[in-house]
Structure 1
Amino acid sequence: MSLRLGLPVAAAVLAADQASKWWILEVLRLPELRNVPLLALGPAGMDLTMVWNRGVTFGLLAGDTVWHQLALVLLAALIAGFLLRWMARAETRLAAVALGAVVGGAVGNLIDRLRFGAVVDFVDVYAGSWHWYVFNLADAAIVLGVAALVADALFRPKATAKEGA
């Protein structure tokens, strides 16, 4: 049952992520433009800004060598496999859906690494001179999925022991 909930979420996240990256690269051609203002609310806003992330979260473990990229691809594939196994055993609907979001995002970024040697990041949120790390839809799905997993673990009703057991 958990896979029937999580896998469609993973597929939807993956499709939306790859479609958004195709649009950014092929239609908008953001690498040529570098930056497109999108939304300004006084000193805060959101731009489309092209970044090729050769690392993992927040650019950590970045590197340009082939071996480095292969190591990141292998690590991402192992994590996705672990998450799929966890999804198959998920105890709640929320956990299954959250794991689907994380898996879809992880696979979306894995595809980027295989195609480009880096992840396509393009959403730049800022307030004044402060900018959050540039991210993509896959990253957003991963963060929201992890937040939902934490909420599920913290707020799930505790199972009660049966009387006389």
Structure 2
Amino acid sequence: MVYALIFFALLFVDQISKALAYAFDIENITIIPNILSLEKLRNPATGDLNTGMAYGLGSDQPWALPVFIALTCVALLIFLIALVKISKRKRFLRVSLVLIMVGAAGNLIDRIVLGGVRDFIHVSIGDLSLFNYYCNVADVAITVGAIMFILALLFVDDDALFRFHKKKEEQVTENASAELAAGAKEPDNDLGAEISGVGQEHTDKRE
């Protein structure tokens, strides 16, 4: 239930933010100077829509739209099955899947309804073309979800490959086992001392 609420809440944020950005035709609203701004994608050839995938990749290819729609549908089905099957204890991993699904669903809606994705978040770092692109809330959700997914598999989950506190937990377990073993021996020692004491008392009385 919680994951469903997260999914639909973020999906609503994605869709409403796109609608507002395009309705008000926002342009150059600076968030972080020279790095991040809100600015509607300008591309008259596609109706100001991104016909590629996340961050504008593949937008110039005519085959991109149907392929991305098909791949997104398959991916959503796979992630949904994974979300159902993954242990409820793995909350971090499950949230990462929800975020990826939100992003995929948000952009899928745009592609099916509009024929392209509405981008309005402009990231530009200097003259680096790699860091000069447009995206939206759905793209951000996919990126954050993907990062969380990797972190979950490598560090966060109980069976993570490089779990940070695994060694610490093992040490705590070893210490606890040692204490239990030591505690189990102490009563025997006390009992032996008592028996020795009783035996000594009988010896003293005989003398």
- TM-score range for the pair, normalised by the shorter chain length: 0.7 to 0.9
Cα deviation 1:31-80 (Å, max 9, x = unaligned): xxxx3232353x44424232521111333333575x65233212111111
Aligned to 1:70: 66
Q: What are the ranges of 5 or more consecutive residues in structure 2 without an aligned counterpart?
A: 43-48, 161-165, 167-207
More strand as a share of residues = 1
CA-based RMSD of the aligned residues comes to 2.3
Higher relative contact order (CA 8 A, sep 6+): 1
Structure 1-normalised TM-score? Answer: 0.79
Q: Secondary structure at the match of 1:15?
A: helix
Secondary structure of the structure 2 residue equivalent to 1:55: coil
When you count helix as a share of all residues, which structure comes out higher? 2
- Percent same amino acid at aligned positions? 27
Where do 4+ consecutive residues of structure 1 move more than 4 Å? Answer: none
Match of 1:142 in 2: 142
Question: Which residue of the partner structure matches residue 203 of structure 2?
Answer: none
Once residues 25 and 58 of structure 1 are traced to their aligned partners in structure 2, the CA distance between those partners, rounded to angstroms, is 17
Matched, 1:96 2:94: yes
Of 51, 54, 70 in structure 2, the residue corresponding to residue 57 of structure 1 is: 54
Q: Which residue of 2 aligns with 1:48?
A: 39
Per-residue CA deviation, residues 72-95 of structure 1 (Å, 9 max, x unaligned), is 212111111111111112230011
Distance 1:125 1:117 in 2: 23
Structure 1: state its 5+ residue gaps: 161-165
TM-score by length of 2: 0.64
Instruction: Mark the CA change 1:154 to 1:117 in structure 2 (over 3 Å): closer, same or farther.
Output: same
Structure 1: how far apart are the matches of 2:140 and 2:117?
Answer: 13
Structure possessing the higher radius of gyration over alpha carbons: 2
